A and B are shown apart, each in its own frame.
Chain A
Amino acid sequence: MQNTSLQFKKQVTIKLADVKLQDALSRLQSRFVEGRSAVISEIHDLQETRTAAAAIRDRVLNDLEHWLLHFEQQATARGAIVHWAETGDDVNRIIAEIAAQHGVKTAAKSKSMVSEECGLNDALEQAGVSVMETDLGEYILQLAHEAPSHIVAPVVHKNKEEISDLFAEKHQLPRKTGIAELCREAREILRPAFLNADMGISGANFLVAETGSVLIVTNEGNGRLVTTLPRVHVAITGIEKVVPTLEDVTTLLRLLPRSATGQSITNYVSVLTGNKNKEDHDGPEHFHIILLDNGRSSLIGGEMQEMLRCIRCGACMNHCPVYQNIGGHAYGWVYPGPMGSILTPLLSGLEKSPDLPNASTLCGACAVVCPVKIPLPDLLRKLREKQMQLGMKSRQETFMLKAWAWLALRPNLYALATKIGVRMMRAMGGKEKLLHTLPGARGWTDGRDFPAPSGMTFRELYKRGAHK
């Protein structure tokens, strides 16, 4: 997928003024934030479980080579073929080769964010394989030629009316208005796609090293269909997704659906190991697993390694005041919200997404809800520091920070300057006690007023004993 993060600020202005999007985002907030909070307390000891989950992820990341090799060995022993891909283009090439090798003309696909990194669908169409997205949200986006705006709820930015119009136009059927009717229509259109597909393509939520298994969590059942009916199954995932044992993955499964959609467990959890036996009635004859690097290995052993713990639940974006106001498309690549603001610069280059590490108020909500305890605000701060060191900040920002640092090193002068400053601002605020514009921060005051200070600095108030 093409990265348009450079247009972040322009996108934000458009998204903030999009009434339909704002309406859709408020729904996400109520359903997912409240949904999580209702079931997360079911976990007997949440903090202990989060700590254990983080340790499971770290165990693998601290010795990733070993665990990848163990996974490969176990998966191969059961008849799967493991492929390694350095880039998204490599994934596309490998799948096109597998398709050619098995005479594949049609593919049915369940949701995979890694495949979005690769731009897989376009590449396969060019290779002569027609691809059908089968996750309802992804299917809607394929019809609309749009990108997902959330990693769990990809079509959160669209309302029911838009989907009704889209189905009526593309399916050439009478326009349905009920959500259940729309789902039924999609089911009936997609069922033949599952039955006729030569190849099923899926992602993988986890890879289990102990057994060489691919684990997929789904609700719709499309993940089961694409991994059961077609004669070839290709699973694509990132190299960081390995988990040691079935017990370890079970600990992560207590957290993943609860954090993602507020479910105690997803409808289906499928653990797929090897290909079909001679006596089996169903299952793929050929099982291929593609492990994608795409920049992930560069995080290993460094100060950003903790980001690779991520299990893609989306809780950080659901709880992020920035995501809640601008949605996912503004971020410009596959992964939005706090995790995306870190992952996008790391995987596709800080210079291509300079605004993302700054697209956060550092309120800390993301770190509180992260099931694998990724210190997201700390990582965002590290990226900001890196931008400063690399001279990527604007001249104005650099000058202001330098000026502030100069002043802050001179306490008496600082006290005098702030004393004058707050008094001036109080006078400017007038009766309303609001500043409509601030010199040097017009962008901030364009959308809201700045509350005027009371006229005293903190140090003055402290001296007076107001702290007692």
Chain B
Amino acid sequence: MNAREKILGKIRSAQSNAALRTPTESINNHLAQHPRGPMPSAPENLLAQFKERALKLSSDVRGTSDKMEVPKLLAIYLSERKLPNSGVCWPSLAGLPWSAAGLDMQSRPAKNHDLIGVTGAFCAIAETGTLMMLSGADTPATTSLLPETHVSVLDPRRIVATMEDAWDLMRKEFKQPPRAVNFISGPSRTADIEQTVTLGAHGPYRVLLILAPL
């Protein structure tokens, strides 16, 4: 008998008391209906709540009503912080006027030495100020991970209230989760040394969210 049979067998014999076991029908119902647990009350203003929570998690937030202005906003942000002006972006953002703003953005997945990574986002969650990223051929996960600065261009219409809403949106637009769903809430951090929070552990040191209709 292999380990799988032994472990499952032990569990089965310990739960032979059928009264305690959930009928298969109820299990299948639970999976089909995936009911929600207790939820926070819906915010009056999704955008305002998202911004407030994102700032609390040490993300920076900028906004514009014209997506063509995004490169200019990024250029200002980078020069304010004396950061380099070249990096990589997702292919969906390659058409923005980067070079007109003095930026050199290559449309490819990030490599180790790339210092700026510009991504979109699948959606964002107001409850915690979080980005939801789905991996895929045109949405490489490394772009939000390897560079020291992560910039995400986000359509404010893609802000939902809770993670439950985000799952529903994913179910609506895709049949199943992609290889990696990453929820990102601010720059990477560690508090391992003396429980003192330090921004910039193994991932980005800073996260800039640019809200613009896409």
A residues 112-126 near B (Cβ < 8 Å) are none
- Is B195 on the interface with A (CB-CB < 8 A)? yes
Residues of A within 8 Å of B183, CB to CB, are 265, 268-271
A52-B38, A220-B203 are known contacts. Are A297 and B15 too (CB-CB below 8 A)? no
A362 within 8 A of B: no
Q: How many residues belonging to A are interface residues under a CB distance threshold of 8 Å?
A: 99
Cβ–Cβ contact B41 & A44, under 8 A: yes
Count A-B pairs with CB separation below 8 Å.
254
**Beyond A44-B41, A210-B31, A264-B56, 11 additional pairs, beta carbon < 8 A:** A49-B38, A84-B3, A84-B4, A183-B190, A187-B201, A250-B36, A268-B183, A271-B177, A273-B180, A283-B141, A301-B14
Residues of B within 8 A of A (CB): 2-4, 6-8, 10-12, 14-15, 17, 20-22, 24, 27, 30-31, 34-41, 53, 56-57, 109, 112, 128, 130, 135-137, 140-142, 145, 162-164, 167, 176-196, 198, 200-204
Determine whether the beta carbon of A220 is less than 8 Å from that of B188. Answer: yes
Chain B residue nearest in CB terms to A278: B137
Min CB gap A35→B, angstroms: 9
Residues of B contacting A45 in the complex (Cβ-Cβ under 8 angstroms): 38
Given that A48-B38, A220-B190, A224-B182 are contacting pairs, would A264 and B53 also be in contact in the complex, using a CB cutoff of 8 Å? yes
Contact A222 B194 (CB under 8 A): no
Bound Cα distance from A63 to B203, whole angstroms: 39
Compute how far the CA of A281 lies from the CA of B12 in the bound complex, rounded to whole angstroms: 42
Q: A446: CB under 8 A from chain B?
A: no
Q: Which of B4, B38, B57, B193 is A251 in contact with, Cβ under 8 Å? A: B38
A344 to B184 CA separation, bound complex (whole angstroms): 35
Partner of A281, one of B142, B145, B203: B142
Query: When chains A and B are docked, how far (Å) is the Cα of A270 from the Cα of B198?
Result: 21
**Least distance between A144 CB and chain B CB atoms (Å):** 13
Q: Are A221 and B181 in contact (CB under 8 A)?
A: no
Within the complex, what minimum Cβ distance (angstroms) separates A417 from chain B?
47
Residues in A neighbouring B10, C-beta threshold 8 A: 293, 297-298, 300
Q: Is the beta-carbon distance between B198 and A179 smaller than 8 angstroms?
A: yes
Minimum C-beta distance from B15 to chain A (A): 5
Q: Give the complex CA separation of A268 and B202 in angstroms.
A: 12
Whether A86 and B7, one on each chain, are in contact in the complex, defined by CB atoms closer than 8 angstroms, is: yes
Report if A195 contacts B (CB, 8 A): yes
Contacts of B204 in A (CB 8 A): 221
Contacts of A298 in B (CB 8 A): 10, 14
Q: Are A280's CB and B135's CB within 8 A?
A: yes
Task: State A222–B146 Cα separation when bound (angstroms).
Answer: 10
Is the beta-carbon distance between B40 and A219 smaller than 8 angstroms?
no
